[in-house]
Amino acid sequence: MAASLENTFVREIETNKTDILKIHQLEVGDVGCVVWDAALVLSKYLETPDFDKGGLLKGKKILELGSGTGCVGIVAAYLGADVTITDLPDFVPLIKMNIEENKALIKGTTEAAPLTWGQDILSNNFHYILLADCIYYEESIEHLVDAILSHCQEDTEVLCCYEERTTGNKPQLQRTFFKLIDANFNTEEIPLEQHDTHFRSEDIHIFKFTKRKIS
């Protein structure tokens, strides 16, 4: 992450209760330095009737993987969840900045923690695992699936949101990811009509994964 935290611009996210969450992004840096559309779609999905407009998240323990700015995890914490927001160590200062910026509106708890997929395991007592636009680098796909699996209990729900990309090796990465996921999880795509009315797109998908039960 090459840019200084002094060089940021703010993305405002209006909640359904008309509160404004402010997410700092970096003017220069890696892909994790900005709020991607998939993060907005997943964030706003948490406020839909599927989650009783956010009420079902109150008191739930949530892990966000590959958080970048921390946008999704901060929205979950705003809705009352206890969230551990993670990414590579270089991104933790940006996540902490955004937690601090929004602390007056956060009703749950937040913790920014470094987590390297395939190496670190924080806990496996999470009700939900959230990830947005993490299917990106070929060398990280297996490690991402390992991180998801390592942090799941039998009843953990994983919400994976990603923008479908058709250039370069991206379609193959998506196929590889889902092949690995299918070996360990039941998968279900959330219908587009259940996404937020305004924050939805036909090329942005939300999937729910639940761990396969061993018979």
Among 145, 7, 20, 133, CA closest to 78: 20
Q: Is pLDDT above 80 for 215?
A: no
Count, residues in the chain: 215
Rounded distance between C-alpha atoms, residue 49 and residue 42, angstroms:
13
For residue 170, what are the contacts with CB-CB under 8 A and spacing of at least 6?
A: 135
Tell me the pLDDT tens digit for each residue of 62-110: 999 999 999 999 999 999 999 999 999 999 999 999 999 999 999 999 9
pTM: 0.95
On the question of pLDDT at 31 being above 80, the answer is no
Mean pLDDT of 193-215: 94
**What is the CATH code of the structural domain delimited by 8-211?**
3.40.50.150
The HSE-up count of residue 79 (CA atoms within 13 Å, CB side) is 28
Half-sphere exposure of 113 (CA within 13 A, CB side): 17
pLDDT of residue 213: 81
Q: Name the residue ranges covered by the structural domains of the chain.
A: 8-211
